[in-house]
Structure 1
Amino acid sequence: MSDARVDAFMAGYRKAWETNAPDDIVALFTEGAVYRGRPGTPAWTGHDEIVTGWLEHADAPGSTTFAWETLARDGDLAVVRCVTTYPKGRKKGTYDNLWVIEFSPDGAPRSSPTGGSPGSGSPDQRMLMNCSATSRSLPLSSAMTA
């Protein structure tokens, strides 16, 4: 299942992940975005908190493989399955995640640690992401690998 908003967000997300550049991270979210890296953890709200939290948990560029697929879309909501593999280091293993992304009407995500898309400054952009680590992952039916 392909969707331009989801595709654009995921490409931007992976770019930000690989560069850890504050401008690339900010480009994903509107100022009022809410982002949560794991279930049960405090959310990061707004550009400053998101960039600070992101950089505190940043991975070295090139340290992962990443594949994803859109599982469902309904209006402004998308569910995306992401599989990240860390071949070595303290995070070594495969992480099989579900992200729920809520987009604002302009296409930007309203909530995260559960998803997102490049934002246009809309105050209600959020991305919600629920992550769960696993030791194995099932094959993706259609995936982008970066």
Structure 2
Amino acid sequence: MSSAGETWTEAYVDAWRSNDAQQIGALFAEDARYLTSPDSEPRVGRAAIVAGWLEDLDDPGTWSFEWSIIHEDESLVLIQGRTQYPAERDYLNLWVVRLDAEGRATAFTEWYMPRPHQD
């Protein structure tokens, strides 16, 4: 049986692949905060998160993502990942996600470190 963090992360990756507004919105609580980096201006609220995602989306097939959960408790999930953009660059990722009782994110912060592209 999948944990809440695994279920949420799988749904996030599915939404990332599809760029479907309903799938994206379903990930987040109505008043969620989404930061694309720790020092970025947060997108606040589901509508702003969806709009920002669709303005800055990754086209399907242009990336791959490997991940694992490194910590999870009842409301906090830490996800370690590696995003590869074959035509560009690779990134190591740390996502800090707070989930509500329904399994929707109330807060999402991404930390990432670019690394040299590796074939």
Match of 1:85 in 2: 84
Structure 1 segments, 4+ long, off by >3 Å, are none
Query: Are the counterparts in 2 of residues 39 and 131 from structure 1 also a CA contact under 8 Å?
Result: no
Match of 1:35 in 2: 34
Query: Are the counterparts in 1 of residues 26 and 104 from structure 2 also a CA contact under 8 Å?
Result: no
TM-score with structure 1 length normalisation?
0.74
Deviations 1:35-57 (A, max 9, x none): 01122110001121101110111
Match of 1:66 in 2: 65
Q: For residues 12 and 28 of structure 2, what CA distance do their matches in structure 1 show?
A: 10
Q: For residues 77 and 136 of structure 1, what CA distance do their matches in structure 2 show?
A: 31
Match of 1:134 in 2: 115
Q: For residues 117 and 70 of structure 2, what CA distance do their matches in structure 1 show?
A: 19
The unaligned stretches of length 5 or more in structure 2 are: none
The unaligned stretches of length 5 or more in structure 1 are: 114-128, 138-146
TM-fit CA distance, 1:33: 0.8
Amino acid at match of 1:85: Q
Q: For residues 20 and 106 of structure 1, what CA distance do their matches in structure 2 show?
A: 22
Question: Relative contact order, CA 8 A, sep 6+: which one is greater?
Answer: 1
TM-fit CA distance, 1:98: 0.5
Higher strand share: 2
Q: For residues 54 and 133 of structure 1, what CA distance do their matches in structure 2 show?
A: 20
Identity of paired residues, percent? 30
After superposition, where does 1:1-146 map in structure 2 within 5 Å?
4-88=3-87, 92-113=88-109, 129-135=110-116
Q: For residues 116 and 2 of structure 2, what CA distance do their matches in structure 1 show?
A: 29
TM-score with structure 2 length normalisation?
0.89
Q: Give the 3-state SS of the residue equivalent to 1:41 in structure 2.
A: coil
Amino acid at match of 1:26: G
Give the RMSD, CA atoms, in angstroms.
1.8
